[in-house]
Amino acid sequence: MARTTLGQALNRALRDALAADPDVVVYGEDVGPLGGVFRVTDGLSAEFGEDRCFDSPLAESGITGTAVGMAMYGRRPVIEMQFDAFAYPAFQQVVSHVAKMRNRTRGRLELPLVIRIPYGGGIGAVEHHGDSSEAYYAHTPGLRVVTPATAADGYSMLREAVESPDPVVFLEPKRRYWAAEDVELPARTEPMDRAVVRREGSDLTIIAYGPTVDTALLAAEAAAGEGRSAEVVDLRSLSPFDDETVAASVRRTGRAVVVHEAPGFAGFGAEVAARVTEQCFHYLEAPVMRVCGLDIPYPPPHLEEFHLPGVDRILSAVDRLQWESSWVPGTAPVGAPEQRSEVNA
């Protein structure tokens, strides 16, 4: 088994996708000779030529709009937004065209394109380089929004995203680019739209995705030390959402914590908490806790540690899951009104 980083797995996925289908084209800012600022497209323009992997003018809306046009003609563009916050100029193209073209034309024009976005913080970069923008896309019908947490998923999910007939917003947890694991590529993992249980447990379920899956696993390890058995679910696909896997886990454990880096307010964790509660209400011993980024603009490097949900914050949320609640339905245990998840903690 070879040690492979997420970045290498994504690079390999693009290489194999380019080789497998002549209609696949990869372009964006600096993805050509440079290989992308994170080197995810390293070597592709040299290997496949500047016709298949190339640098475009510096304009995200134009990059996305031209990808729409290429897809209309049967190509499968894979475009890169250099950083999360630099995808915002393309927002109109994504929301009003990428997401709607199939619906608008009743399936006559489909847009099999992939928008790759390195997202999230934790790499000590200045402002605009650490946003977690998944909620904006997840709330937009017509888009598939996925995010891999492992190298194997990075490869498999990106291949699947390129092959998908639907447009896919492919969110890459940038601080995990360099995380290595043993994996033999090419590898195909579970279908892109399924959540997976990364660690089994019986007392509570930690629901995470992308950059926070690893944090959740570390927290589960630590919780085990404190005698609590935490199951960890990696969502993988934010939209569509795999209710079956998530609900099955929470019904088993009766308690849940959802973890993400984006600000908690109106963040994706709210959807997770809401639908888990809807589906598991009578199994829940405590409200679903949200451990999220603070409700602030992404902080400067020296302070990002306070913003990013870490093991300690997950553990203290776990502690607040009312382990020995002795309450009668309809009445509040002492202090329950003050029971708050971190979001409005």
CB of 250 to ligand TPP, least distance (A): 40
Candidates 30-38, 107-115, 153-161, 257-265: pick the segment binding a second copy (CB under 8 A): 257-265
> Is position 179 an interface residue for another protein (rule: CB under 8 A)?
no
Residue partners of 202: CB distance under 8 A and separation at least 6: 229, 231, 252, 253
CA 335 remoteness from chain centre: 35
d(CA 146, CA 134): 9
Measured from the CB atom, is 131 or 234 closer to a second copy? 131
CB of 51 to a second copy, least distance (A): 30
Q: Could you say which residues in the range 47-76 bind a second copy, by CB under 8 A?
A: 61
Long-range Cβ contact pairs of 307-313 (< 8 A, separation 24 or more) = 307/121, 307/261, 308/121, 308/122, 308/261, 309/212, 309/215, 309/259, 309/260, 309/261, 309/342, 310/215, 311/215, 311/218, 311/219, 311/222, 313/342
Residue partners of 177: CB distance under 8 A and separation at least 6: 5, 6, 7, 38, 40, 118
Cβ neighbours around 345 below 10 Å, total: 16
Measured from the CB atom, is 217 or 289 closer to a second copy? 289
Length, in residues, of the chain: 345
Interface residue with another protein, options 2, 19, 47, 105 (CB under 8 A): 105
CB of 55 to another protein, least distance (A): 5
Measured from the CB atom, is 186 or 322 closer to another protein? 322
CB of 134 to another protein, least distance (A): 16
> Is position 191 an interface residue for another protein (rule: CB under 8 A)?
no
Measured from the CB atom, is 81 or 183 closer to a second copy? 81
Interface residue with another protein, options 14, 17, 40, 68 (CB under 8 A): 68
Output the CA torsion sign for 189, 195, 198, 202. negative
Residue 185 interacts with which of another protein, ligand TPP, a second copy, none, CB < 5 to 8 Å by class: none
Determine which one of 129, 260, 282, 302 is catalytic. Answer: 129
Q: Could you say which residues in the range 14-33 bind another protein, by CB under 8 A?
A: 25, 29-30, 32-33
Residue 270 interacts with which of another protein, a second copy, ligand TPP, none, CB < 5 to 8 Å by class: a second copy
CB of 74 to another protein, least distance (A): 7
Strand 76-80: give its sheet, edge to edge.
53-55, 24-28, 76-80, 114-119, 168-173, 144-146, 237-239
| C-alpha dist (Å) from residue 313 to 38, 85, 292, 309, 317 | 29, 26, 9, 6, 6
d(CA 289, CA 276): 11
CA nearest 54: which of 213, 70, 254? 70
Is residue 139 annotated as a catalytic residue, yes or no? no
Residue 51 interacts with which of another protein, ligand TPP, a second copy, none, CB < 5 to 8 Å by class: another protein
- Backbone φ, ψ for residue 344 (5° rounding): -115, 35
Measured from the CB atom, is 13 or 101 closer to another protein? 101
Residue 74 interacts with which of another protein, a second copy, ligand TPP, none, CB < 5 to 8 Å by class: another protein
> Is position 169 an interface residue for a second copy (rule: CB under 8 A)?
no
Measured from the CB atom, is 95 or 185 closer to another protein? 95
d(CA 245, CA 64): 33
Is the distance from CB of 50 to CB of 134 less than 8 angstroms? no
Residues that bind a second copy (CB under 8 A): 61, 85, 88-89, 91-92, 95-96, 99-100, 103-104, 127-128, 135-136, 138-139, 141-142, 238-239, 241, 243, 247, 251, 254, 262-263, 265-271, 273-275, 277-290, 295-297, 327, 329-333, 336-337, 339-341, 343-344
- List, by residue number, the catalytic residues: 129
